[in-house]
Amino acid sequence: MCTEDFIIELFCRVDRQMKGMAKHPQAKLYPSELVTIALLHAIKGTGERAFDRWLRRDWLKLFPGMPERTRLLRLMAVHVGWVQRFMADGTLLGVADTYGIELVHPAREARENGRFARKGKSNRRWIIGGKLGLVLNKWGLVCAWDAATANVSDIHFRPMVAAFEGKMVVLTDNGFHGTTGDPPNMKVCPPRTWDVRMVVETVLSMLTVVSHFKHRAHRSWKHFVARLGYTMAAFNVLAQWHGMTPDPHGFVHLSIAEFGL
């Protein structure tokens, strides 16, 4: 489909999820419009200024009430809680993992000047930025997510796993394991075991290629968190675009490449 048809269809799907959410009397955008713009931002994967120029130049006719750029970004950050409406339900078996997002090259560490980004390791290399924690169900859809700075241990994300106690057994790597406090529904998988955990690598790989998710340039923590949340919601919407039909072996093939903007 062409880009205009895709944006209209995306709005219709978002509007169904936002059913019952009333528009504030002083707001210029309906909640569904705001979330649609935020998901487009997450899918396109560019910076705020580049995205704003693209949207106003080509698609302002679809969002005539769109406020100026800084106001729009503040609205996205304030209403990031709406992405919970797009989270998937848990299944009997799930997977949890973390993903480092680089904000500054390590060589520029001295230029941070108190910005929220911190130095930590991701995929056996040093980065300066933040970290995403996510829980996926057996189909590869995002059930829960959280954010932290890159220097934070994966143990920080154990409450996200514990929230599914009694509902889902969550497979994790050794990074989530501690001497005490492991949730009862968390199963630590040694390296090269439980190949079902590879679904999280597939999901993160698609986000890296389509949404350029590995490198960001945010200067505010709340806007960084908002971008993570809307990206998780966008993935769930796109992954279910054509339905979740398993093959004869019961495997659902995930793909979002066709939605790259």
pLDDT of residue 8: 96
Over residues 37-57, mean pLDDT: 94
Over residues 18-42, mean pLDDT: 93
pLDDT of residue 20: 87
Q: What mean pLDDT, rounded, does the chain reach?
A: 90
Q: Confidence class of residue 132 from pLDDT cuts 50, 70 and 90?
A: very high
Q: Pick from 225, 210, 244, 213: which is nearest to 88 by CA? A: 244
pLDDT of residue 188: 92
Does position 13 have pLDDT exceeding 90, yes or no? Answer: yes
The model carries a pTM of 0.91
Instruction: Output the 3-class SS for the chain.
Output: CCHHHHHHHHHHHHHHHCCCCCCCCCCCCCHHHHHHHHHHHHHHCCCHHHHHHHHHHHHHHHCCCCCCHHHHHHHHHHCHHHHHHHCCCCCCEEEEEEEEEEEECHHHHHHCCCCCCEEEEECCEEEEEEEEEEEEECCCCEEEEEEEECCCCHHHHHHHHHCCCCCCEEEECHHHCCCCCCCCCEEECCCCCCHHHHHHHHHHHHHHHHHCCCECCCCCHHHHHHHHHHHHHHHHHHHCCCCCCCCCCCCCCCCCHHHCC
pLDDT of residue 5: 95
Task: Write the pLDDT tens digit of every residue in 166-221.
Answer: 999 999 999 899 889 899 999 998 887 777 788 899 999 999 999 888 888 787 88
Q: Confidence class of residue 254 from pLDDT cuts 50, 70 and 90?
A: confident
Over residues 155-168, mean pLDDT: 94
pLDDT of residue 227: 94
Lowest-confidence region among 18-32, 44-58, 73-87, 96-110: 96-110
Task: Write the pLDDT tens digit of every residue in 59-114.
Answer: 999 999 999 999 999 999 999 999 999 999 999 999 999 999 988 877 777 666 55
